[in-house]
Amino acid sequence: MGGPPLCEVPKVQRNRLAKHAPIWHSRNAFDPTFSREYKTIMTSSLLIENGTVLVTSPAPTILQDASVLVENGRFVRICPKSEMKRTADKRIDASRKLVLPGFINAHTHFYSSFARGLSKTKPATTFVDVLKNLWWRLDSALTIDDCYYSALLALLDSIRHGTTTIIDHHASPRAVVGSLAAIEKAVTETGLRACLCYELSDRDGEQIAQQGLDENVSFIRHCQKQKNDRVTALFGLHAAFTLGDKTLETAAKLGHDLGAGFHIHVAEAASDQEFSEANFGMRVVERLKKFEILGRQSIAAHCVHVNPREMEILAETQTAVVHNPQSNMNNAVGVADIITMERAGVLVGLGTDAMTSNMLEELRAALWAQHLSAKNPAVGFVEVGTALFVNNPKIAGRVFGFPLGELREGGLADIVIMDYDPPTPLDGSNYWGHMVFGVSQAAVDTTIVGGKVLMENKRLALDIDEQRVNARARELATKMWQRL
Ligand SMILES: [Zn+2]
């Protein structure tokens, strides 16, 4: 690419996994994407007043006209306003607003941001054609700068939708080395929490597979060394049907040696199972069990086409399944039977697979999909609510190593404040109904991670010029589309 660089990922980060301090500490003075003014609100204490607050534990409870005190990134006191005797460096008035724990997206792909509006693909009538005609052409065209900017777009969109923790799955086979460091830089600059991985695959040959192995190993080591509570890693694998036994075995050994879990697409389409049975004489989940890819820290995304025996294996190995209903409907691959899976003891969470950053939109879609699939409007409510509000925090807690997604005294202060003055009774027993039918249609006003305000009054409180980011992303996406 010609022309002078404009806020590209510095070369040093492409070559080694340096620890990246937040942008407000390490900002490059020549970097035009970031304004000169330090906008990020750096407060050690924060008091949210007058809001309707969902306290998540020990049992979900709604507190009206409540005060929430945050100190050093944690909730220290949640109580009726009349009982709050303390003050703070910063106050937020949450009158006529609902204060919730930040949402968690348990499976997505930041790099998909550059696909929006792309029409340069051949029609696809099968899932494998969707991959071949769109996603594998797109990810092969990504540069390191594309990885950084596509992540930045997705992260800013997550802030706007109150999604504070994201589990990402990244692919850029012509720009593998340093891709996770570039994404980490975007995560650090936006102040969100993210779990990253590189999707290892044999589809591009041995050399790129080796780079995929190395990228996962280096980044996991980097995360283990830096012990950053905002960024962590899993060992990424694309899917069983693009991984030969040799690569799976190598990945499993490397992952086990590092003590890392795995993040892989499982039985997203029936073709994954057909390929596995034809080539390996076993089902996909059985093959992953054989290679010890499954486990308490591992994530199996989709599981649309798993049989009862595979569900048993997922439950026995405590592997988390992440359901992505909008993606499954878009790709016409079917609807995962999360009701049977949850009954079988599988921990089922909810992800967007890059369809959106809005977890409440995904929640609604999940519910409609279960209704339609079962042709029964009475099913699925508990399972989808559990997936987002109970199981996603558990999954995030497993991969980060500490509890997340809980609004309780002592918990990490990841918060979303939404415009919502309930027009009907709201309490701890019916809040899921409000989420599906009311809160999902409300605007996110304020997003906070670890006590740091990232957006307030619907304006980003970051040291990032969103218009410049969008302008640069458009330039890069235009060039990327030309390379397809
Ligand atoms: Zn995916």
Q: Is 70 exceeded by the pLDDT of residue 73? A: yes
What is the average per-residue pLDDT within 356-374?
A: 97
CA 415 / ligand 1 centre spacing (Å): 26
Confidence grade of residue 312 (pLDDT, cut at 50, 70, 90) = very high
Mean pLDDT of the chain: 91
Residue 36's pLDDT is what?
30
CA 353 / ligand 1 centre spacing (Å): 5
Q: Is 70 exceeded by the pLDDT of residue 86? A: yes
Residue 335's pLDDT is what?
97
Residue 460 DSSP SS3 = strand
CA 75 / ligand 1 centre spacing (Å): 33
CA 111 / ligand 1 centre spacing (Å): 11
Q: Is 90 exceeded by the pLDDT of residue 192? A: yes
CA 31 / ligand 1 centre spacing (Å): 32
Q: Is 70 exceeded by the pLDDT of residue 42? A: no
Residue 484's pLDDT is what?
87
* 450-480 pLDDT, tens digit each: 999 999 999 999 999 999 999 999 999 999 9
CA 107 / ligand 1 centre spacing (Å): 6
368-375: Cβ within 8 A, 24+ apart: 369/325, 369/328, 369/329, 369/335, 370/335, 370/338, 370/339, 372/335, 373/335, 373/337, 374/339
Q: What is the 3-state secondary structure (H, E, C) of 32-83?
A: CCCCCCCCCECCCEEEEEEEEEEECCCCCEEEEEEEEEEECCEEEEEEEHHH
Predicted model pTM: 0.91
Q: What angle do CA 146, 152, 155 make, to 5 degrees?
A: 140
Alpha-carbon Rg for the chain in angstroms: 22
What is the average per-residue pLDDT within 86-103?
A: 97
CB 33 within 8 A of CB 7: yes
CA 408 / ligand 1 centre spacing (Å): 31
CA 327 / ligand 1 centre spacing (Å): 8
* 438-450 pLDDT, tens digit each: 999 999 999 999 9
Q: Is 50 exceeded by the pLDDT of residue 394? A: yes
Which has the closest alpha carbon to 469: 21, 6, 116, 11? 6
What is the average per-residue pLDDT within 162-177?
A: 98
CA 49 / ligand 1 centre spacing (Å): 39
Q: Count the neighbouring beta carbons within 10 Å of the beta carbon of residue 326.
A: 21
CA 199 / ligand 1 centre spacing (Å): 10
Q: Which two tokens stand for residue 343?
A: 């009954």
CA 234 / ligand 1 centre spacing (Å): 14
Q: Count the neighbouring beta carbons within 10 Å of the beta carbon of residue 209.
A: 23
* 325-348 pLDDT, tens digit each: 999 999 999 999 999 999 999 999
Confidence grade of residue 201 (pLDDT, cut at 50, 70, 90) = very high
CA 354 / ligand 1 centre spacing (Å): 7
CA 196 / ligand 1 centre spacing (Å): 13
Question: Which uninterrupted H or E stretch holds 365?
Answer: helix 359-374
CA 300 / ligand 1 centre spacing (Å): 10
Confidence grade of residue 122 (pLDDT, cut at 50, 70, 90) = confident
CA 151 / ligand 1 centre spacing (Å): 15
What is the average per-residue pLDDT within 260-268?
A: 98
CA 358 / ligand 1 centre spacing (Å): 16
What is the average per-residue pLDDT within 220-248?
A: 96
The tally of CA atoms less than 13 A away on the side-chain side of residue 390 is 14
CA 293 / ligand 1 centre spacing (Å): 17
The tally of CA atoms less than 13 A away on the side-chain side of residue 480 is 33
Confidence grade of residue 106 (pLDDT, cut at 50, 70, 90) = very high
CA 138 / ligand 1 centre spacing (Å): 14
Percent of the chain with pLDDT over 70: 91
| DSSP state letters, 406-424 | --STTSB--EEEEE---SS
Residue 119's pLDDT is what?
81
468-473: Cβ within 8 A, 24+ apart: 468/7, 468/32, 468/33, 469/33, 469/149, 469/152, 469/153, 469/156, 470/153, 472/6, 472/7, 472/33, 472/149, 473/113, 473/114, 473/149, 473/150, 473/152, 473/153
Q: Is 60 exceeded by the pLDDT of residue 53? A: yes
Distance CA 308, CA 301 (A): 17
CA 264 / ligand 1 centre spacing (Å): 8
CA 330 / ligand 1 centre spacing (Å): 12
Confidence grade of residue 43 (pLDDT, cut at 50, 70, 90) = low
Residue 10's pLDDT is what?
39
Distance CA 194, CA 184 (A): 8
CB 45 within 8 A of CB 28: no
CB 209 within 8 A of CB 200: yes
CA 106 / ligand 1 centre spacing (Å): 10
Residues 6+ apart with CB under 8 A from 316: none
CA 332 / ligand 1 centre spacing (Å): 14
* 3-33 pLDDT, tens digit each: 333 334 434 333 333 333 222 223 332 233 3
Residue 254 DSSP SS3 = helix
Which has the closest alpha carbon to 241: 207, 266, 262? 266
Residue predicted with more confidence, 17 or 424: 424
